[in-house]
Amino acid sequence: MRHPATPATRRTALTLFGAALAATPFLKPAAATASVRATGLDHPAKKEIAMQLVSSAENSSLDWKAQYQYIEDIRDGRGYTAGIIGFCSGTGDMLDLVELYTDRRPGNVLAKYVPALREVNGSDSHAGLDPGFPGDWRRAARDTAFQRAQDDERDRVYFGPAVRQGKADGLRVLGQFAYYDAIVMHGDGTDPLSFRNIRRRALRTAKPPAQGGDEVTYLDAFLDARVWAMKQEEAHSDTSRVDTAQRVFLRRRNLDLNPPLDWKVYGDSYHIG
């Protein structure tokens, strides 16, 4: 079952976020600590852990690669939600993904839906998509080129910017993951519940290591700000992906997300050995 924790405000300014933020971090990176230089969330082993952690919250499964074919309207006002990161037909990132896939593989099974995706962007409408789009999405998901396109859009719009900002703030792997999970849910832009505004809220009470602050203290403040943002929306009011996952790792001072990892989301238990 996919829990209704898929992004609510994250795409309010997705076009600006993808075009500008993905290319430029919020801050110029300060001198990184040795641990950040040595291993970041973009290290293949750590990135795999990040994908599993997000999938546990978004899809109730550690098998994130099984989600390429996922598609459903979860009735959150954003049309179809699909794929490994919850691309939505009503918010622009699904359109960007299908356009990328079509550029790389013209005539693919989803190419015919590009005009409809442009029309429904910004709404929950299925006009021009039903009845064939869900089945065609699942068929496309068997194509490694479509899987690669999903990976690339995830990295361009969400993962890459989060890791860059985390490193700029002097954060280790856990902090970079906290940023990534926040961007997955909330996106970025001018929305008061966006990632950058969650970060700004945290900066009111604590400084990140790059500004001379204590890493644990800052991450605690960031997670407080994240929980506040989640509680502003009914769809995100279950904050267990922070309370019984990220805070567990923080309390244990596991700032590099070293296995074994044990956590809970929505009451379900997970383990990475």
What residues are annotated to the active site? 58, 76
E strand segments, the chain: 71-72, 81-82, 87-88, 261-265, 268-272
Which of these, 177, 195, 154, 225, lies nearest to 49 by C-alpha position?
A: 177
**Regarding beta strands 261-265 and 268-272, do their DSSP bridges make them parallel or antiparallel, or are they unpaired?**
antiparallel
Residue 6 tokens read as 């898929």
Distance CA 213, CA 34 (A): 16
Coil vs helix vs strand at 261: strand
DSSP 191: S
- Burial of residue 177 (number of CB atoms within 10 Å: 0-12, 13-18, 19+): buried
Task: Evaluate whether 264 touches 242 at the Cβ level (below 8 Å).
Answer: no
Give CA separation, 137 vs 61, 96, 125, 126, in Å: 20, 14, 17, 14
